[in-house]
Structure 1
Amino acid sequence: MAALAGGARAEALAIVNARIYPDPQAAAIDAGTVLVRDGRIVEVGTSVTLPDDARVVDADGGVVTAGFWNSHAHVLPLPLREAETRSAAKLDFALRRMFTGKGFTTVFDIASFPSGNAAALRRRIEDGEVTGPALLTVDAPFFPDGGTPSYVQDLLDTLQVPSAEVATAEAARARARDQLEHGADGVKLFIGAIVDDGKGVVVMDATIAKAVVDEAHRRHKPVFAHPTTLAGVEVALEAGVDVLAHTTPTGGPWNDVLAKRLVEADIALTPTLALFEIEVRKDQAPESVVAQVVSVARQQLRAFHQAGGQVLFGTDVGYVDLFETRREFELMADADMDWRAILASLTTTPARRFGQGDRKGRVWAGMDADLVVLASDPADDPTAFADVRHTVRGGALVHSARMAAVPSSRPGVAGP
């Protein structure tokens, strides 16, 4: 796959016989072609002349969209958390299984350990040694004083890493400054931290949260917040965070007033609806309880979306083994997001939100050649976003359902 990533930039790549959705609001281009070269889209249309050196990928009537963003993920599992020392082949496999095989060409890691690991993985991807998505990271998260989440403590003990708790605004500001100066693309606050094996929630002091937000915003970097409760949402509003990493289904429905406040504060939301099913079932709760929690989570997303909020697609993969995306799309559709709104959450909304809207998120000439080929049309069924046939990242074919038939110069890299 490294040969693919390197070679595809030198030659042209053409995706033909496709239904193309240039962006979430544009009309489809039927029987279209997307021509890319040197990592950029060169031409899109129905009368594209292919150069002699073009590598042709037949979409076979499938749908082409811009590459997907996963705006809530973690590079925590092995082998990813050992990015400096693991073989490129093992990292390739893990990244394709978690991300590029699902159409994700850009991923925001919103908390991982040890500190600096995600940046090391990004360097290996950018150097062409490892094939993977464009990777953004917040590096280590910020926990409230006395609020290390109970489900994280064992990992921290295993890795023997320092506590991520911050007790004062000054300490929080200093650590935020240090992480951002060393390449973090944002910061993550556990404003509501679940402790005591899930029996309680410690809420971060608003002055500490505000100190981190101010330091990040001074550098024009986003702040993600894990709110957990409605009290956590209020601290997020007071501190001025940019993205809520989850809804808060244990806190009851969001009314129209709260949804409007979030929208007016320009706070985006990553709903991660399927996560709640997994987490509640993990506690062996009755299915009636699972259904109730998920119903509230859907209601919160529906209220936020109907108020005009910016929704970002995310799965929390890396914390959970949630490689399959179909259920998330199904739940988002059940929350009254149509396929165009879901496509925006995967493409244009995160690209704009994270300052890359001038080059990512649309299938337009001049944009980065990050593309997804789907086997079926999400206009007919939004779960079709999970039917990924091919993924192109920076002009390189990095995943294909037929990847096993594509030769690789790297020993140990197998097809799906």
Structure 2
Amino acid sequence: MVLPLLLLAGVVRAGDLAIVNARIYPSPDAEPITDGTVLVRDGRIVQVGTAVEVPDGAMVIDAGGDTVTAGFWNSHVHPLPLPLREAATRSPAELEFALRQMFARWGFTTVFDIASFPSGNTATLRGRINAGEVAGPSLLTVDMPFFPADGTPSYVKDLLDSMTAPSAEVATADEARERARRQLADGADGVKLFIGAIVDDGTGVRLMDLEIVRAVVEEAHRAGKPAFAHPTTLEGIEIALAGGVDVLAHPTPASGAWSAELARRLVEEGVALTPTLELFEIEVRKENAPEAVVERIAGIAQQQLRVFHEAGGQVLFGTDIGYSDQADTRREFERMAGAGMDWRAILASLTTAPARRFGQDSRKGRIEAGMDADLVVLGSDPADDPQAFSGVRYTVRGGEVIHPAPWHRP
């Protein structure tokens, strides 16, 4: 029985927590534990199994046979919408509501902001979450991105102008290196390069100079941090490969199908991919394109994910939420399944793959003793339908319930 407190509060603070009567998937490649219990104390998992004694006084969530997985990662987000981009001045209630709608409602306990303004805003938001003032996910951030000279993307220019944000363009490798060094020293968890920036001056895509890419990536790697790239075109992918980028933030459907050889090269170079498949449907529909065109472009993105996955590439789940206003994850899971990813591969993209990629696999991504108590209770089993990953009943981050679903079962 779920304690009534869950009905009244947006967050339940860490202590002893037991999720009982659950079908537990400890990791994507593990067999499920049926009628199992996860016991949490002080933000860490202390016991998992079928013979776990629940201590007196523990808060108990009865899963009623439903599924429990490790907490989800969203590896492509932007805390740009209000109130999140005013993290220093907005109230905890405002910030918590936005964080729940964008992240916790969908099971995300860790998110990677891969471009935001103003500089330092996400770090401020992270500080308020970590201090216990605001309930929300673990936050990683690249802070401000790097745009090519004269290459501020047209689709964010008006927003940045309205914010009077400083230019994120870099014209030389020395300038780029110095800013990367500064942002990383100030606490950024990586860097983001718009290698192919879409502009509206008639040229289409502005490509970043390879020496600038190398300078920024070198600084990130020197600090032990990842480099993300927005490639846009096949030329952008070649620059990303030559520059040593770690993660492609999107596929490149405008450039046509990927070959098996390109996918093999990406895998050999250790490059991960965030598919963001639904985003392309959304963007093409903004142009009032016929549905046949929408499906053609979305289908190319799906093909690119398929050939990358078949080559053994590391896939990281991401939605581009914050640029996109589509928080619901159901369509993304449907598209990923249509690209040939089974439910275990999708679960890996949500859990073990990002934890490993971003150096947190000793703490996150699996359900076992000693790990952070980042957990998701789903209303149905994703082994039956991958869209079940979007049916989140409860989200637990560090032992705190940060999302009780409004339709929860008592």
TM-score (norm 2): 0.96
Question: Larger deviation: 30-39 or 195-204?
Answer: 195-204
The question of 1:271 aligning with 2:271 is answered no
2:251 corresponds to: 247
2:69 corresponds to: 65
Q: 1:341 aligns with which of 326, 345, 348?
A: 345
2:356 corresponds to: 352
Judge conservation of contact 1:4–1:398 (CA < 8 Å) in 2: no
Judge conservation of contact 2:11–2:401 (CA < 8 Å) in 1: no
Deviations 1:324-380 (A, max 9, x none): 000000000000000000000000000000000001000011100000000000000
Judge conservation of contact 1:374–1:389 (CA < 8 Å) in 2: yes
The question of 1:177 aligning with 2:181 is answered yes
2:199 corresponds to: 195
The 5 A counterparts of 1:355-394 are 355-394=359-398
Q: 2:313 aligns with which of 285, 309, 312?
A: 309
Give the Å deviation of 1:152.
1.1
The question of 1:222 aligning with 2:226 is answered yes
Q: Secondary structure at the match of 2:177?
A: helix
Matches of 1:197 and 1:65, distance apart in 2: 47
Judge conservation of contact 2:196–2:207 (CA < 8 Å) in 1: yes
Letter aligned with residue 372 of structure 2: D
Letter aligned with residue 145 of structure 2: P
Q: 2:108 aligns with which of 78, 96, 104?
A: 104
The question of 1:24 aligning with 2:10 is answered no
Deviations 1:246-267 (A, max 9, x none): 0000100000100000000000
Judge conservation of contact 2:11–2:135 (CA < 8 Å) in 1: no
Percent same amino acid among aligned pairs?
69
2:151 corresponds to: 147
The answer for unaligned runs of 5 or more in structure 1 is 407-416
The 5 A counterparts of 1:317-336 are 317-336=321-340
Give the Å deviation of 1:401.
1.4
1:210 corresponds to: 214
Deviations 1:104-147 (A, max 9, x none): 00000000001110000000000000000000000000000111
User: Residues 403 and 40 of structure 1: is their aligned pair in 2 closer, same or farther, counting only changes over 3 Å?
Assistant: farther
TM-score (norm 1): 0.95
2:298 corresponds to: 294
2:55 corresponds to: 51
1:8 corresponds to: 13
1:41 corresponds to: 45
Q: Secondary structure at the match of 2:13?
A: helix
User: Residues 297 and 6 of structure 1: is their aligned pair in 2 closer, same or farther, counting only changes over 3 Å?
Assistant: closer
2:141 corresponds to: 137
Matches of 1:305 and 1:131, distance apart in 2: 35
Q: Secondary structure at the match of 1:196?
A: coil
Judge conservation of contact 1:151–1:197 (CA < 8 Å) in 2: no
Matches of 2:117 and 2:409, distance apart in 1: 36
Judge conservation of contact 1:150–1:198 (CA < 8 Å) in 2: no
Q: Secondary structure at the match of 1:153?
A: helix
Deviations 1:211-239 (A, max 9, x none): 00001000010000000000000000000
Deviations 1:62-94 (A, max 9, x none): 100000000000000000000000010000000
User: Residues 198 and 8 of structure 1: is their aligned pair in 2 closer, same or farther, counting only changes over 3 Å?
Assistant: farther
The answer for unaligned runs of 5 or more in structure 2 is none
How many residues are paired up? 405
Matches of 2:113 and 2:12, distance apart in 1: 28
Give the Å deviation of 1:322.
1.2
The 5 A counterparts of 1:103-122 are 103-122=107-126
Matches of 2:210 and 2:289, distance apart in 1: 33
The question of 1:238 aligning with 2:242 is answered yes
Matches of 2:178 and 2:384, distance apart in 1: 50
Letter aligned with residue 13 of structure 2: A
Give the Å deviation of 1:405.
10
1:414 corresponds to: none
User: Residues 247 and 79 of structure 1: is their aligned pair in 2 closer, same or farther, counting only changes over 3 Å?
Assistant: same
Judge conservation of contact 1:13–1:56 (CA < 8 Å) in 2: yes
Deviations 1:146-173 (A, max 9, x none): 1100011111111111110000000000
